[in-house]
Amino acid sequence: MAAEQTLILVKPDAVARGLIGEVLSRIERKGYRIEALEMRTLERTVAEEHYAEHVERPFFGELVDFITGGPLVALCVAGEDAVVGMRSIIGATNPIEAAPGSIRGDFATVIGENLVHGSDSAESAKRELGIFFPGRF
């Protein structure tokens, strides 16, 4: 497959724990490029747009509350097979199932605070990058 871009979020729990450098280091050591980086606290409307696919699920409000509860770091990461590659670096959504050596496998303990978000497909990456970096990608 060709080089592609993906959205990565270093979530508020990772920021609070001082793991920004660890996440960035793992991305760069793997050979991916960071094409954009911004630290900010999300507005509720942005979070709701980002998680729109979950709006009917009972945990939607908790997701939005969590992601808006403190600063996060949004990244555009690029490279060969970036979506799949970054999801491997991040690890399974449930930290108990995440492989040792992955970010979640090494640092996360509960599914609701799993440190990092990564787009799950090229289509999702395009949509999500448009939300976090409008007009840039």
By annotation, the residues acting in catalysis are: 117
Backbone torsions φ then ψ of 113, nearest 5 degrees = -135, 75
Query: Which 3 state secondary structure label does DSSP give 72?
Result: strand
Assign 3-state DSSP to the chain and report helix, strand, coil percentages, each to 5.
45, 20, 35
Q: Which residue has the tokens 């990564």?
A: 118
Query: Which 3 state secondary structure label does DSSP give 53?
Result: helix
The HSE-up count of residue 96 (CA atoms within 13 Å, CB side) is 3
